Chains A and B, each alone.
Chain A
Amino acid sequence: MIAVVVFPGSNCEQDVAHALGLLGAESQFVWHLETDLSAFSAAVLPGGFAYGDYLRTGAIAASSPVMASVKQMANEGKPVIGICNGFQILCEAGLLPGALRRNSGLRFRCMPVNVRVETSNSAFTSLGVAGQVLEIPINHFEGNYYCSPNTLVELEANDRVALRYCDAQGKVTQEANPNGALGNIAGVLSDGRNVLGMMPHPERAADPELGPIDGRVILESMIRALVPV
């Protein structure tokens, strides 16, 4: 059973549950006041505007009661994925390094983008191949990934950049970068490789009725990595 964590202001939880269901995985909504997630084998922090994005995106959600339990899951090696606003929450909670800043050019970007799989060594990309290009939509105002120069070196050295914005041929270019993210980074892994934050929405690229299904690579990899409880 996969926990889909719902904060006040989350708005992609239904899409996540629908996509997981299509792929044969069971999920359950978990309200942010829940403090025990031990019965779940993975957690998804969906997109939206948790707590209205007040103070900073993800800042208030990062301190909500459920997060201690999400951290516990991460420490136990269970897959934890933060999508869009979920990524911002994971960064604010310290589960992933860095921060998501306002998009360069101050533009809200809602569009399909290409991202290149940088590693297949993770709970979320095991069914992908390094260099593979996935078309997945983004929908955000604050997706401009930033981290300190030292952190960037560490991320690169340890193969912890999961996804980069690229063109249709897989070339990582400035034109293909929709938000100014450092190093065209679209997704980052934890040290243990079982926590992923990504700005694109894989759940919106999972149902063939709605278009491309490249997001399935991420979700199916996660389902394969589920830790039995």
Chain B
Amino acid sequence: MPRSEISDPQGQTIEHALPGLGFEGMTKVRVGKRITLSLEAPDLDAAEALVTKACQEFLTNPLIEEFEVQAVNPPKSDT
């Protein structure tokens, strides 16, 4: 997502269009992107740590974007 202190022209444009389509009361519209990937790792913590590092160093530009890492359908633990 674009960092909160940075203007988001895409979000603003969408926000201005919503009332015209009958969708009232929707504010603070912001547009980001989602990257999904698969990863094999010893455990969930290790996977999240690696993906977080990838986000910091390559997948996002921390100067203008913030990110959140989320495990979707993590494999069930054996223990």
- Chain A residues with CB under 8 Å of chain B are 55-56, 59, 63, 92, 98-99, 101-102, 104-106, 146-148
Task: Point out the residue from B7, B58, B59, B64 that lies within 8 Å of A99, measured CB to CB.
Answer: B64
Question: Contacts A105-B9, A106-B13 hold; do A98 and B63 have CB atoms under 8 A apart?
Answer: yes
Q: Which residues in chain B, 26-45, are within 8 Å of chain A measured between CB atoms? A: none
Chain A residues whose CB sits within 8 angstroms of the CB of B58 once the complex forms: 55, 59, 63
Contact with A along B1-19 (1 / 0, CB 8 A): 0000011011001000000
**B61 interface residue (CB < 8 Å to A):** yes
Beyond A59-B61, A105-B9, A147-B63, list 9 extra A-B contacts (CB 8 Å). A55-B58, A55-B59, A56-B61, A59-B58, A99-B63, A104-B7, A106-B13, A146-B64, A148-B63
Q: Which residues of the partner chain B approach A98 to less than 8 Å between Cβ atoms?
A: 63
With both chains docked as a complex, state the minimum distance between the C-beta of A85 and any C-beta of chain B, in angstroms: 15
Tell me the complex Cα distance, A99–B2, Å. 12
Within 8 Å CB of B63, what residues of A?
A: 98-99, 146-148
Give the residues in chain A near B64, CB-CB below 8 Å: 99, 101, 146
Q: Which A residues are in CB contact (< 8 Å) with B13?
A: 106
What's the Cα separation between A16 and B57 when bound, in Å? 31
Complex CA gap A73/B58 in Å reads 23
The CA of A56 and the CA of B10, in the complex, are separated in Å by 15
- Chain B residues with Cβ under 8 A from A101's Cβ? 6, 64
Enumerate chain A residues within 8 angstroms of B6, measured Cβ to Cβ: 101, 146
A56 — which chain B residues lie within 8 A by C-beta? 61
- What is the chain A residue whose CB lies nearest that of B33? A55
Closest A-B pairs by Cβ, 9 of them:
A99-B64, A106-B9, A99-B63, A99-B61, A56-B61, A104-B9, A102-B9, A146-B64, A101-B64
Closest to B59 in A: A55
In the complex, what residues of A have CB within 8 A of residue B9's CB?
A: 102, 104-106
Q: Select from chain B the residue with minimum beta-carbon distance to A55.
A: B59
B10 and A106 form a contact (CB under 8 A): yes
Query: Which residue of chain A has its CB nearest to the CB of B8?
Result: A102
Nearest Cβ distance between residue A207 and chain B, in whole angstroms? 35
Q: Which of A55, A101, A102, A105 has the most CB of B within 10 A?
A: A101
What separation, in Å, do the CA atoms of A63 and B61 have in the docked complex?
Answer: 13
Minimal beta-carbon separation of B16 from chain A (angstroms): 12
